[in-house]
Amino acid sequence: MSSLLSIGGVALSFPPLAAGLRRPICGSANGVGAAQEAAIVRRAAEVADLSAGHSAPHPNSGCLIARGGDVVGQGFLYAQGTKCAELQAVEMAGGLARGATAYLNLEPDDCYGDHTPVSSLVQAGISRVVVGLRHPLKHLRGKAIKSLRSEGVPVDVLGEDLNGKVFEDKVTRRTIGSTKERNGLYYLNAEALKSCLVVNAPLLYRTACHVPFSILKYAMTLDGKIAASSGHASWVSSKLSRGRVFELRGRSDAIVVGGNTVRRDDPQLTARHGGGHVPVRIVMSQTLDLPEEAKLWNVFDAYTIVATQRGARKDVQKKLAKKGVEVVEFDILNPKDVMEYCYDRGCLSILWECGGALAAPAISSGVIHKVCAFVAPKIIGGLNAPSPVGELRMVQMSQALNLIDVSYEQIGPDMLISGFLQPIPDLSPVIPQADETSALDPTVSPYDTKIISFYKTWDLYGALSNFSPHPVRMPDEDGTYFTWSSVEHYYQAHKFVGVESPLARDFIEQIKLAKSPEEAARLGRKLQREHPELGFKVQIFDASSLEVHAMFNCWLCSCRSITT
């Protein structure tokens, strides 16, 4: 049963807590024991995951506010540019937040430049904060914790307590000394920390490996075949399993397939979950031996990128470009370079739905971090029937790659087996000291021009991003000023300004009402693809374009609104 809370006469509901979580036990000054605190942190990680699939993948943050074991407020980051989890939680808690403890799965970030996560907790009177994991990004790690402590708010970091030798009950001051008690607490803390790591695994892998977090997904029969000898593969797994695949797609920035998959299956590769985030489709093909007509060339539903070898079939490239497909050339096409390219485009999570010929080099190059295998209780046989992974050049079973943290879940008649090929990077031990200073690269002159990146709000200069939640007041076409929710709202709507069509005016109003910058971007791009006949005012910027001037003024207005 969902828990209910009435704020200002309005009944609010949030998902049920873990069994026994609401039963107060002795522990902290608020009557919460160490084991129960670990459970609440774990629950914060579960809450943080609620936005998955509704917006572009982003760091997942959740906040729970508890008094004596009772959760009185909670929140999670829905999308870039929306209200932070901490502010949502204190608003839900109202006056009950004063003197309560806030539990966060991830250290708050301050990439918007307005200090809202920290200030909302301080102003609400939160007496203590428990953090599951320090922020993995170097420019944010430890920043919010230091700010909270400077405001007199004690902060405990779960990931830094696991190496402690002695545990103490904070109410009775009794040392938890028995081996059984210590082992139990170690286990609970480890499970809570694991939840915090898993919910932000994409960000952790991206930070540590400089490539997006990649999942290899496939469905196979009990005898290890992903299709019959004829190539027919509809369907290996059940409808329930295919529904889970749609969920995986909704959590991803992009889906990668090879040319064989396009030729054989003609897939659509959309999430098909009734709205929400739609990932980019990426086709890797060295020779561009691709069909002239394919579902992936329909870019009204989702954007498509074809990655190929430099110089490959220029005639095919031109045909794809005319259909709205982006073609990207690589000197030598390989999974590693494609993932580095996706990293540069700001991707956090990639889903590989390719065949064995592409899966093998992807695994060998080290860009696959997790495997999700749907195993159907079927036998198809066939000497030439394809398998999920091609040649890895292993000749002994001792060379086999072992999955880490394997889980098993029955989905209808199928079994989903998932596990990690590489351990989740735990960056929490890298803790900045109080006197730590930034080290300059000796090869770079301090007078050199420095290019800064602020495409994503979690970048070093993320407060300057179009997705940053700073309203901008800009004039409409008739000179009337309107306050836009973000620069991205203004930019997407500006595509339709000046277009003599009632449809265009309706599109502008739709974009104005978008709940987040991400949704404004998705809506603007979708409408632009679906209605090319309108002839948009903004398509491609050039140095002399008046639109560059307009966007610069909008960006300047946004900068002025940021409190630093």
Alpha-carbon distances, residue 92 vs 89, 310, 481 (angstroms): 5, 55, 33
CB 491 within 8 A of CB 525: no
**Closest among 40, 65, 30 to 188, alpha carbons compared:** 40
Contacts 24+ apart (CB under 8 A), 90-97: 90/65, 90/120, 90/121, 90/123, 90/124, 90/126, 91/7, 92/5, 92/7, 92/12, 92/65, 93/65, 93/124, 94/7, 94/8, 96/65, 96/67, 96/72, 97/65, 97/72, 97/73, 97/124, 97/125, 97/126
* Encoded tokens for 122: 């301080």
The C-alpha R_g of the chain, in whole angstroms, comes to: 25
Q: Which residues face 102 on adjacent strands?
A: 65, 129
The closest alpha carbon to 519, from 112, 81, 110, belongs to 81
Give the contacts of 525 (CB within 8 A, at least 6 positions apart).
303, 492
Residues in the chain: 564
Nearest to 358 by CA among 339, 377, 340, 342: 339
Could you confirm whether 86 is annotated as catalytic? yes
DSSP bridge partners of 308:
329
CB atoms within 10 A of CB 287: 12
Catalytic residue of the set 37, 46, 86, 107: 86
3 state DSSP class of 481: strand
Is residue 89 within 8 A of residue 101, CB to CB? The reply is no
171: DSSP letter: T
Q: Which of 5, 2, 3 is nearest to 93 (CA)?
A: 5
Stated as kind and residue range, the H or E segment containing 130 is: strand 128-131
Q: Return the ∠ at Cα 340 (arms to 338 and 345), rounded to 5°.
A: 95
Residue 343: CB atoms within 10 A of its CB come to 16
Contacts of 237 (CB under 8 A, 6+ apart): 219, 374, 376, 414
By annotation, the residues acting in catalysis are: 86
